[in-house]
Chains A and B, each alone.
Chain A
Amino acid sequence: MQINVEFLALAQMAVSGGLMGMAYALVAYGFQLTHAAGKAVNFGQGELVMLGAFTGLSLSGCGLPYWAAVSGAMVVGAALGWFVERTAVRLALQQQNEGWVLLTIIVGLFGVSAAENIWGREDKPFPVPWPESSLDFFGISVTWQELVVAAGALGIMTLIELAKRYTMVGIAVQAVSADQDAAEVCGIRSRSAISLSWAVSGMAAAFAGTIIGPVTTVGPTMAAALTLKAFSVAVVAGLDSGFGLLLVGLALGATENISGFLLGSGWREAPGLIMLIVGLALRPQGLFGKKIIRKV
């Protein structure tokens, strides 16, 4: 009987960790979008998540209903994503140097400072319209909050994926990812397509902020660790791998929770990080990524 209880506790940990892991997958998906379009990612993506959460919080503080606040946050997130591309990434990529890594970090740093001054340094609760109770599945309890995170992340990713496949703009963005010059000669403005990818990526990040805000509470440092985790998910899955990152996100969330439970909360992140370094060393293109052919 004792073993059964242990097992149930672990399963509980894995399920709630995995559901939260979907939030990592969502932010990771944002990395994939921008990497596909222009081979760059935002090292300040966590800051966009945080700014999205704050915007959502302020808007619902103004009396807007939850869904309207979330939409508003997504619009602001999209604008910020576009801004990061325009200010920090485009020039550095034109000069073909790694300056964009620094510039995205710097823009993120400014974001944190701005948030500290606009909203204060304290963590704030995020009010939500769903109940605090939980549901029971075969002895494993799942809170409404966890369900919202998982469903929200899955839902928005599915929506973006559908838009990519079934609108002309989406197909054009895919074309730019595949071959920028060839897309240009088809009359596709590749710069706009890249900016659009960044905007969508920023929108996904802001959305992630509004769904995890209620869990983590909202503060300037809420997403400091999130960039690393989401980036781990994206890279381990492969920066061009589509839905492989859902699996990796699930796995990372579950591993974190279980190792926190077994080794102590300070060690939560360690196994994931070791997994990442080893995984990268063995398969640089990611678990689900395609092998790169060097051309000369």
Chain B
Amino acid sequence: MFAGVSLGLRENTVERILRTAIFIGLAALPALWQGQYAIGLLTLMAVYGVLLIGLDTTVGYLGQINLAQAALFALGAYGTALAIGAGASLPLALAAGIAAALLPGAALALPALRLEGPQFALSTLSFATLTIIVLNECESVTNGALGLSITRPSLFSIPLNATSFYWLCLALLFGVWEASKMLFKSRFGLAIEALRDSPTATDALGIGTLRHKVLAFAWGSALAGLAGGLHTMNFEYLQPAAFGYDLMVMLLLGVVFGGRRSQWGAFLGAAVIAMLPNLLSNRTLFSFLVSFGCILTVVRPIRALLSHRVPVFREAAPAIAMALAVTLVFFVPNVEEWRKGIFALFLFAVVVGLPNGIAGALTATLHRWIRFTPLPLKPAAGGINSSRKSEGIALRLFGLCKSFGGMRAVENVTLEIGQGETLGLIGPNGSGKTTLVNLISGLYTPDGGTIEIAGKRPASGSLMSAFSAGAARTFQNLQPFFGLTALESILVCQQEGGESEAMGWLLAVGLEGKARVRCSELSYGDLRFLEIARALATRPRILMLDEPAAGMSKPDIVRLIDLISSIKRAGIPILLIEHHQDVVAELCDRVAVMDGGRLIALGTPNQVRRDPKVIEAYLGADNIARENMEVLPC
């Protein structure tokens, strides 16, 4: 396979060069493409760029459909307009716009971001509808449906004409772009990426799900406010009707069209939605664009047919939609009337055919042609021996109970794990072992009993609180951060220390060679080791491993036993759920056996193995077998 040309450049450098060139080009554009109309359009594109970068924080990075951005945009616009009316200077007016969007945005985010999926979309949609009602009805402030007129203030007593205002918007877009990019490359951005894949894991590892979500939403709202302010100054006239559902749908589609989770995507989307309505009014150009799009979409189904296979829905549907659009353009007399429908077909083709948008498709192509130089890795430091030494009782459970709809999953469990002790927890499937770990780590609220982690009593049913007390865990069903690399997965979990320390943890579990590999491409065994490294990186006072060897190959199990014994030597107390008897026998100081939610035995591995209750519950009852032998002919 063609591996691509190596330019000896980093991806980051190439991106920055490209972007700077485009901005210089855009800044020079008014010299070539003159007229009030053109400048207005270019300014609108820059404003939408800021707005969509903001929208992308929720729709892209948080992965939630946010239908409030148009309303926040409106609030920013009105805030700025009212500030200008009160005689504020330009920077002050923009600040007022940002505040006008940020405060309601944050107030919405706190309740709304506890929700997921359709519920979140709905609460933002309600907020948007409510905002438009308020803008329409509070006539004394907003002048209602008639709208507000303002005059653009000057910047530090320099009067701004259309072109210089365009340059201001462009400069702000560049700044916002850079700031967003840095934000989402930082630990904050990694956390956002991680919580989209597994909010349970981000809470259990102390990253803090809700806090990050609210901050991201607030950032998006602030950008909506800034964009609103610029929009007001661009048009010098405002009306509530302009910020309704239609604009919202347009913005959402702009982000998806351009490509989610990418500032480039937001920018391209902004260009498309700013220019498109105007392109659509030129019939020749429009017919050309639609035909061109149609040709692009038929490539994939034809390729499928050529390799003798029926094209799947994802390949065929965009072509059908575009073919329908072409039919409308060429055979319907009143094509202007159908503009909304053709736009819908266009979008349908893009959303189905290019799930990662234009930016996603372009990046993929670029990576196919050019091999970028990776960033160098820092040398490893720290590692297991730098772990916190534990003192006193690591974990104390007293009378812990939990039932699910009548089924008693954990019943009256009392247990202690001492300083530096490794306790094995075994029992047949469904005996309540994982539920016990879920209770200790705060995923479930116990029905009764107490939990004490390293002398502290965490608030019940709070992952974050259990984490603060010092609990860290791995998951039986892996909860990897698929969007992050191995190194980033550690970085995001570290409370202190940088890349060197993160490399130290990877080295400890033997993954130092895969630091830059995405979790989605790591093998199952590697992911199990990475989860242990993640938990260790939080410097726990008690480490809970939920079936770490499940599904591992023999050599991996040997590696795992080595790893756990070195964790043990470092003095970290461990609660180990495991089915592999050799792992339990070799590592555990004591073994606890659960059956039907109860603790039925506790002792050294040898004691437990001889306990008749354990033999009956765990290894299968002898007498059953004998009885059946009589029934069977053999």
User: Which residues of A does B touch, CB under 8 Å?
Assistant: 35, 40-41, 43, 87, 90-91, 95, 97-99, 101-103, 105-107, 109-110, 112-114, 116-117, 224-225, 228, 231-232, 235, 239, 264, 266-267, 269-270, 273-274, 276-278, 280-281, 284, 293-294, 296
Contacts and interface: CB of A to CB of B under 8 A. Distances in A.
B256 A102 contact: yes
Given A114-B341, A277-B111, A294-B443, A232 B122 contact: yes
A277 B126 contact: yes
Interface string B408-430: 00000000000000000000000
B345 A110 contact: yes
A91 B314 contact: yes
B245 A112 contact: no
30 contacts: A35-B118, A91-B352, A98-B65, A99-B256, A101-B118, A102-B347, A103-B351, A109-B340, A113-B339, A113-B341, A113-B342, A117-B337, A117-B338, A228-B129, A232-B126, A235-B122, A267-B137, A269-B130, A270-B130, A273-B126, A273-B130, A273-B133, A276-B122, A277-B108, A278-B111, A280-B111, A284-B114, A294-B200, A296-B434, A296-B479
A221 B63 CA distance: 30
Given A235-B119, A296-B479, A110 B443 contact: no
Interface of B: 63-65, 108, 110-112, 114-115, 117-119, 121-123, 125-127, 129-130, 133-134, 136-137, 200, 245, 249, 252-253, 256, 313-314, 317, 334, 337-345, 347-348, 351-352, 355, 404, 434, 438, 443-444, 475-477, 479
A276 B123 contact: yes
Contact of A99 (B340, B342, B355): B355
A68 B521 CA distance: 58
A107 B347 CA distance: 10
Given A102-B253, A231-B122, A277 B112 contact: yes
A184 B164 CA distance: 64
Given A98-B65, A264-B137, A270-B133, A280 B119 contact: yes
Contacts of A112: 340
Contacts of B256: 99, 102
B117 to A, nearest CB: 7
Contacts of B342: 113
Contacts of B345: 110
A138 to B, nearest CB: 34
B245 A266 contact: no
Contacts of B343: 109
B351 A102 contact: yes
Contacts of A43: 121
Nearest to B347: A106
Contacts of B475: 296
B344 A113 contact: yes
A265 to B, nearest CB: 10
Contacts of B114: 281, 284
Pick the most buried of B122, B130, B245, B443: most chain A CB atoms within 10 A of its CB.
Answer: B122
Nearest to A280: B123
A40 B334 CA distance: 36
A99 B351 contact: yes
Contacts of B347: 102, 106, 109
A24 to B, nearest CB: 14
Contacts, number: 137
Nearest to A275: B126
B137 A281 contact: no
A261 to B, nearest CB: 15
Contacts of A284: 114-115, 119
A228 B126 contact: yes
A293 B404 contact: yes
Contacts of A110: 340-341, 344-345, 348
A288 B118 CA distance: 17
B467 to A, nearest CB: 15
Given A232-B126, A267-B137, A95 B119 contact: no
A167 B121 CA distance: 35
List 8 tightest A-B contacts by C-beta distance, closest first.
A281-B111, A113-B341, A110-B344, A113-B340, A109-B344, A266-B137, A273-B126, A273-B130
A127 B351 CA distance: 40
Given A91-B314, A280-B111, A103 B352 contact: yes
B133 A269 contact: yes
Nearest to B320: A87
Contacts of A97: 63, 355
A114 to B, nearest CB: 6
Contacts of A267: 133, 137
A276 B117 contact: no
Contacts of B444: 293
Given A232-B122, A235-B119, A284-B119, A106 B476 contact: no
Contacts of A98: 63-65, 117
A95 B355 contact: yes
Contacts of A269: 129-130, 133
Pick the most buried of A95, A105, A117, A294: most chain B CB atoms within 10 A of its CB.
Answer: A105
A117 B122 contact: no
B115 A280 contact: yes
Contacts of A113: 338-342, 344
A264 B126 CA distance: 19
Contacts of A264: 137
Contacts of B249: 105, 109
A280 B340 CA distance: 33
Contacts of B338: 113, 117
A280 B122 contact: yes
B112 A281 contact: yes
Contacts of A231: 118, 122, 125
Nearest to A99: B351
Nearest to B478: A296
B351 A107 contact: no
Contacts of B108: 277
Nearest to B116: A284
Contact of B200 (A91, A106, A277, A296): A296
B348 A103 contact: yes
Nearest to A86: B313
A114 B352 CA distance: 21
A97 B63 CA distance: 8
Contacts of B64: 98
Nearest to B334: A117
Given A109-B347, A280-B111, A296-B475, 15 more contacts: A87-B317, A98-B117, A102-B347, A103-B348, A107-B348, A110-B345, A112-B340, A116-B340, A117-B341, A232-B126, A235-B118, A266-B133, A269-B133, A277-B126, A296-B434
Nearest to B317: A87
B144 to A, nearest CB: 9
